[in-house]
Chain A
Amino acid sequence: MRAAVVVFPGSNCDADARHVLTEVAGIATDFVWHTQTELRGYDAIVLPGGFSHGDYLRTGAVAARAPVMASVREAAGRGVPVLGICNGFQVLLEAGLLPGAMLHNAGIDFRCEWVHLRVDRTDTAFTNACTEGDVLRMPIAHGEGNYFAPPELLVRLEDEGRIVFRYCDPDGVVAPDANPNGSMAGIAGICNESRNVIGLMPHPERASEADLGSADGRVFWASLLAMVTA
């Protein structure tokens, strides 16, 4: 098994993602520069966090049009697991690989803190090792994580079970107080129709080693391994 971490100008969690994939999950992982167009041979693709292209125009907008993204789209169509973390999620939204859009956090401020996520779906490439209702503790660090979907899209996401993670309190209760950015329906992460493309604002790669405060993110890599090696 081999994974790719796509690197855009301004990505800054690329090394963290590669470290965790190689050292924690034991998956051979390459960096792939955004101008590259060859992604065949990779069993998983991670779009890392950061501030690609300075967040100019809209977060993720310029990166979403990079040459590599045609190959990400093609791989996603073949069923390859694709994970977008934070800015990577924003890139997936801008690329149209996931629906909806990001707005500035409702409170306007940059939120850098630990949050809790409730796992609502375990039938995805990165949550199949979870139990529904699991509460994961992970950090967030973003200024634009306020997920927006037009009303009809929000209904569709709910109906199709594509809301994978919601912000919650430590007991798993989804409540406005636990929502750090004003996201609709407390949405922290969603998936595509085929459930192999997942985007979320919190950082599982920063919560995969107990020394860093939480190892809850490991379930992402366990899920990925279970799916790819199944």
Chain B
Amino acid sequence: MSTRAFRVRIDVRLDSNVNDPQGNAVLGGLRSLGHHNVQGVRIGKIVELSLEAADVDEARARAEQMCQELLVNPVIETVEISVAEEV
């Protein structure tokens, strides 16, 4: 069975009911630059995977498994996964 190359983008965010001290610090920095219209800052992270899989569904399933096993802590984080085939 041949495999194809996929680029998986995993966006990890702090859950909306979790305080984000990093975001608050950056909010303070932006305001001290005069950006008083900024009401809030939330900081997350992006994990990009280069992945071999049979198809999009398998690539997504693998990525979901990796999120469960290591990449995301469901106590404090939420995740969004997008999959694109490498061209």
Q: Is B46 an interface residue (CB 8 A)?
A: no
Q: Is A58 an interface residue (CB 8 A)?
A: yes
Q: Is A88 an interface residue (CB 8 A)?
A: no
A65 pairs with B69, CB closer than 8 A: yes
B21 pairs with A103, CB closer than 8 A: yes
For chain B, the bracket of interface size reads: 10 to 19
Interface size on A, residues (CB 8 A): 20
For the A-B complex, the count of residue pairs with Cβ-Cβ distances under 8 Å equals 39
Q: Which residue in chain B gives the minimum CB-CB distance to A62?
A: B70
Contact with B along A140-152 (1 / 0, CB 8 A): 0000001011100
Q: Is A57 an interface residue (CB 8 A)?
A: yes
Q: Is B82 an interface residue (CB 8 A)?
A: no
B19 pairs with A101, CB closer than 8 A: no
What residues of B have a CB within 8 angstroms of the CB of A182 in the complex? 19, 21
Beyond A148-B75, A148-B76, A150-B75, whether A104 also contacts B22 by CB under 8 A is yes
Distance in Å from the Cβ of B43 to the closest Cβ of chain A?
A: 10
A103 pairs with B18, CB closer than 8 A: yes
CB-contacts of A140-192 with B (<8 A): 146, 148-150, 182
Q: Is B25 an interface residue (CB 8 A)?
A: yes
CB-contacts of A20-77 with B (<8 A): 57-58, 61-62, 65
Q: Is B73 an interface residue (CB 8 A)?
A: yes
B21 pairs with A61, CB closer than 8 A: no
Q: Is A94 an interface residue (CB 8 A)?
A: yes
A103 pairs with B69, CB closer than 8 A: no
B25 pairs with A108, CB closer than 8 A: yes
**Cα(A101)–Cα(B15), bound, Å:** 12
Beyond A57-B70, A61-B70, whether A103 also contacts B19 by CB under 8 A is yes
CB-contacts of A93-134 with B (<8 A): 94, 99-101, 103-108
**Cα(A108)–Cα(B43), bound, Å:** 13
What residues of A have a CB within 8 angstroms of the CB of B19 in the complex? 103, 106, 148, 182
- A-B CB contact pairs (8 Å), 7 listed: A94-B73, A103-B14, A103-B21, A104-B21, A106-B19, A106-B21, A148-B75
